[in-house]
Amino acid sequence: MRFILNGAPAEVDAHPMKRLLDVLREDCGLTGTKEGCGEGECGACTVLIDGEPVVSCLVPFAQAREAEVVTIEGLGGEHPYQRAFAEFSGAQCGICTPGMILAAVALGPAPTLEEVRTGLAGNLCRCTGYEAIYRAIHSATA
């Protein structure tokens, strides 16, 4: 099945009902996308499909056909949020971080604090208490 993965055409032979999360991790070797709950509740597995954040643990691979999928690897380690999360302790254990960053990226270049709060309302973090995450995003957009 063909789709666009992090900007490049990709062709992957996997069962259409395999979860996109598993296809990315197991078939594409992109382990930046994390599994937390596997039930759509935590947002750790967030990726962008056609620019919108979705939870890849609830997306059958077949639903990603012809779509543009962006994972944390697609930011190339270069995105200002990636440095800022490290600098401001927005990442501690790091499990929520790829999903947090992608959900934040989807909010556009300079989201307000309110937009960040509601935009990240589907991403749980058990380490930072969220404030460090908001600070990291703010510092990178200020």
Partner 1 sequence: MLRLHEYRYHRPARLADALALLREHEDALAIAGGTDLMPNMKHRLFTPRHLVALKGIAELRGIGLADGAGNPVADDSPHARELVIGAGATLTEVSRNPLVRRVFPSLAAAAGKVAAPQIRNSGTMGGNLCLDTRCTYYNQSYFWREALGFCLKKDGEVCHVTKVGRKCVAAHSADTPPVLMTLGASIDLASANGTRTLPVADFFIADGKANTVRRRDELVHRIRIPLPAPGLRTAYRKVRQRNSVDYPLLSIAAAARLTPGSGVESLSLVVSALGAKPRMVSGLDKLAGAPLHEVVDAAAALAFKQCHPLENLIVDPDWRHAMVPVYVRRALEEMAVGA
Ligand X SMILES: Cc1cc2nc3c(=O)[nH]c(=O)nc-3n(C[C@H](O)[C@H](O)[C@H](O)COP(=O)(O)OP(=O)(O)OC[C@H]3O[C@@H](n4cnc5c(N)ncnc54)[C@H](O)[C@@H]3O)c2cc1C
d(CA 72, CA 103): 10
Q: Which residues in this chain contact ligand X in the complex, by CB under 6 A?
A: 40-41
Can you list the positions of beta strands (E) in 2-135? 2-5, 8-11, 46-49, 52-55, 68-70
d(CA 85, CA 15): 35
The binder of 62, among partner 1, ligand X, ligand FES, none, by C-beta within 5 to 8 A per type, is: partner 1
The binder of 64, among ligand FES, ligand X, partner 1, none, by C-beta within 5 to 8 A per type, is: none
Q: Which two tokens stand for residue 140?
A: 């990178």
| Min CB(88)–ligand FES separation in Å | 12
| Min CB(92)–ligand FES separation in Å | 4
Which 2-31 residues touch ligand FES, going by CB under 6 A? none
Which 47-106 residues touch ligand FES, going by CB under 6 A? 55, 57, 91-97
| Min CB(8)–ligand FES separation in Å | 24
- Whether the CA torsion 131, 77, 102, 24 is positive or negative: it is negative
Q: Which two tokens stand for residue 91?
A: 């990442």
The binder of 96, among ligand FES, partner 1, ligand X, none, by C-beta within 5 to 8 A per type, is: ligand FES
d(CA 41, CA 11): 29
Q: Which of 6, 33, 82, 128 binds ligand FES (CB under 6 A)?
A: 128
